[in-house]
Structure formats: structure tokens, C-alpha cells
Amino acid sequence: MRLPPLVYVLGYAGLIPFLAGPAWLSLSPHAAPAWLDHVWWLYAGMIASFMSGTFWGMALLVAEGPNGIIGMVMSAALMLLAWGALLLPFRESLYALAAVFVLQALAEIWRERTIDPMSGYFTMRITLTLGVLATIGWRLLLGV
């Protein structure tokens, strides 16, 4: 199965908010509104939870077998980790969210090998994950 172009457009467009926060703080820190970090941080948590849910959808393809059960459990665990990361103070939360995105990449390797490889999806997911990790790292370098 080939992914429709819209999947790529929406996937890469999802990086724009990740880039916007650190870019604004880098280019014009005095003009950045007080709420910027909070909204950016919540977006990161929402996307981490959303991406965790994609494993649930993929696992449904093979829900009655052991790989489907493993996929659904991984999805739930990753979502809970993403939610739990948002309960931490800001700096620690960013490290925890980065860890969730790394775990998702590892889970994606498992999914690609066991459930259903889809043309281009793995490459897109890993590329987007690297982009997200770079922006989290960028924000951490800016300090809290």
C-alpha cells in the first residue's frame, strides 16, 4: 500500500509548530508571549499521545493474533508515558517526551517488521521523529 500525498503533507506540516516555538525564542526572545512555552509543550505532549495511538490502529489489522495484542499494549503504554511526561516539571518533561518519541521509533521498527510494512511510512515516521527530537533538543539548549 502506498501512502497518499496528503499523509506526507500533514505529517511534515505537523513539524511547523515544533519549529515555531524554539525559533521564536531564538530569533526574538523578548517578543515571545509568556504562554508560548506552555502551548508548545502541550502540543508536543498531544503529538506524542496521537502518535502512540497510531500503533493501536496498526495493531487492529492483526488484533486477534499475538502481534496485535502486543501492538495494542504498546500503544496504551506509550500513550500513558506521554501523558505522564506532561505531569513533570517543564525541563524534565521535555526529556521524558523525547524518551517517548525514541520509544515510538523503536516500536515503529517492531511494527514495520511484524505487522504491516507500508511503503514510505517508516521512513516518514523516523524522519519526523528526528525532527521532533531536534526541536526538543533546541528548546532545551535555550534553557528554561
Query: Residues 93-106: pLDDT tens digits?
Result: 999 999 999 999 99
Residue 66 is assigned to a structural domain of this protein: yes
Asked whether residue 6 is assigned to any structural domain, the reply reads no
Let me know if residue 17 belongs to a domain. no
Contact yes or no for 54/70 (Cβ under 8 A):
no
Which SS3 state, helix, strand or coil, does residue 122 take? helix
Name the pLDDT band for 140 (thresholds 50, 70, 90): very high
Q: Tell me whether residue 40 is in a domain.
A: yes
User: Could you tell me which residue, 85 or 65, shows the higher pLDDT?
Assistant: 85
114 located within any domain: yes
The structural domain count of the chain equals 1
pLDDT at 65: 87
Q: Is residue 55 part of a domain?
A: yes
pTM for the predicted model, two decimal places: 0.93
Domain-located, residue 26: no
Q: Which residues of 31-53 are buried (b: 16+ CB within 10 A; e: fewer)?
A: eeeeebbeebbeebbebbbebbe
pLDDT at site 1: 67
- The string of pLDDT tens digits covering residues 14-61 is 999 999 999 999 999 999 999 999 999 999 999 999 999 988 888 888
How confident is the model over 111-124, as pLDDT tens digits? 888 887 777 889 99
pLDDT digits (tens, 9 = 90+) for 79-94: 999 999 999 999 999 9
pLDDT at site 59: 82
Residue 5 placed within a domain: no
Range of 75's domain?
Answer: 35-141
